[in-house]
């Protein structure tokens, strides 16, 4: 069980207290955290995070590179499947990643 996050803060439940999540929602939240944090920037776990922030606008195959980087970041969460990754903007200023966990689906935007 974990505390639900929204826009970098706790999501409050109807009782005004932080909302608790579990199961697939919790796994998708963990995936979002791993994708949004640059790899190596979390001092307590240097293996946490993704290399998505390293994407450069030069060259081709950005979507494929983003897809591979997302899979790499989520390797420790085998319940999560990366369905797609698409760079947006010109030059790319974000990556939109579609995830699946059981019956739950999620779309996560990582700003570059």
Least Cα distance to 64 among 90, 88, 35, 84 occurs for: 84
* Residue 25 pLDDT > 90: yes
Residues 6+ away with beta carbon under 8 Å from 105: 83, 98, 99
Closest CA to 74 of 104, 97, 41, 42: 97
Residue 59: pLDDT band with limits 50, 70, 90? low
What is the average pLDDT across 80-109? 93
What percent of the chain is modeled with pLDDT above 70? 99
Separation CA 78–CA 74 (nearest Å): 7
Mean pLDDT, range 83-111, rounded to an integer: 93
Write down the mean pLDDT value for the chain: 93
Taking the C-alpha atoms of residue 7 and residue 111, their distance in angstroms, rounded to an integer, is: 13
Instruction: Report the alpha-carbon distance of residue 82 to residue 105 in Å, rounded.
Output: 10
Position 40 scores a pLDDT of: 94
To 10 degrees, what angle do helices 62-73 and 23-36 make?
120
What band does 46 get if pLDDT is binned at 50, 70 and 90?
very high
The pLDDT value given to residue 30: 96
Q: Mean pLDDT over residues 51-59, rounded?
A: 84
pLDDT of residue 13: 93
């Amino acid at each position: 069980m974990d505390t639900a996050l929204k826009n970098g803060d706790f999501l409050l439940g109807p009782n005004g207290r932080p909302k608790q999540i579990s199961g697939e929602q919790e796994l998708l939240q963990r995936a979002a955290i791993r994708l949004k944090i640059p790899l190596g920037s979390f001092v307590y776990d240097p293996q946490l995070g993704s290399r998505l922030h390293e994407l450069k606008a030069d060259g081709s195959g950005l979507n494929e590179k983003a897809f591979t980087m997302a899979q790499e970041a989520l390797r420790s969460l085998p319940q999560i499947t990366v369905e797609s990754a698409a760079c947006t903007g010109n030059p790319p200023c974000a990556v939109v990643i579609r995830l699946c966990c059981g019956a739950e689906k999620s779309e996560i935007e990582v700003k570059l």
